[in-house]
Amino acid sequence: MPVPVVYYIRHGETEWNAEGRLQGTQDIPLNELGRRQAAFAGSILADLLARDGRGGQLPEFVASPLRRARSTMELVRSTLKLPPGDYAVDDRLREIGYGQWEGSTLAQAEVSHPDLFAKRQAEKWTVPPPGGECYAEVHTRVSDWYRQLTADTVAVAHGGTGRALIVALGLETPESASDLLMEQGVVYVFGDGGLTKYS
């Protein structure tokens, strides 16, 4: 069976993104730039689906349950002239949990837990924030999600989830993926040829 293609979109910007705050599981809405980024990603996706000769056969659509991802998905689908709410939600695509650091900037997190912060900077894949998750845990749930795919899929989720997927597919190591930039307003295509970014 051919490997499913994943058209991966990180949610658009929120005010917490703009302020450099760790969002994790907090349900922060898109800001105006984020809404424009989501619509732009939808136009990129439309071009990619036309390029791939899909005609009337669309991929599956699935989003993280967090509002910023769902709003992005709905704007993407509206750009594609599809019913905005007609997509699946999968909790395995939620963002990495930052626990007690959610709402903090990195500088504030460092002040609150200096030793743990330093340890996590050195071993981000395996060291969780206080009360949060490490990337290895996110990798486990994202790998489980990917293994059950049976069709090409548009997934709208988060930066941390995207990093975990890149490692799950063997495209980066945990060390190289931990700080990898996952951009907003672009479409990442995971397929037989590896990973390609369209912006």
Q: Is 113 a catalytic residue?
A: no
Sorted by where each starts, the structural domains of the chain and their CATH numbers stand as 6-192 (3.40.50.1240)
Does residue 97 sit in helix, strand or coil?
A: coil
Mean pLDDT of the chain: 96
Please give the structure tokens belonging to residue 38. Answer: 């989501």
Q: How far apart are CA 146 and CA 129, in angstroms?
A: 25
Q: How far apart are CA 79 and CA 130, in angstroms?
A: 39
Q: What is the pLDDT of residue 85?
A: 97
Does residue 25 sit in helix, strand or coil?
A: coil
Q: Is 95 a catalytic residue?
A: yes
43-85 pLDDT per residue, tens: 999 999 999 876 678 999 999 999 999 999 999 999 999 999 9
**pLDDT band for position 152 (cuts 50, 70, 90):** very high
Residue carrying structure tokens 């669309």: 58
Mean pLDDT, residues 32-46 taken together: 98
What's the predicted TM-score (pTM) here? Answer: 0.96
| Residue of 11, 74, 102, 139 marked active site | 11
Please give the structure tokens belonging to residue 113. Answer: 């837990």
| Residue of 13, 15, 19, 95 marked active site | 95
Nearest alpha carbon to residue 94 among 133, 46, 123, 120? 133
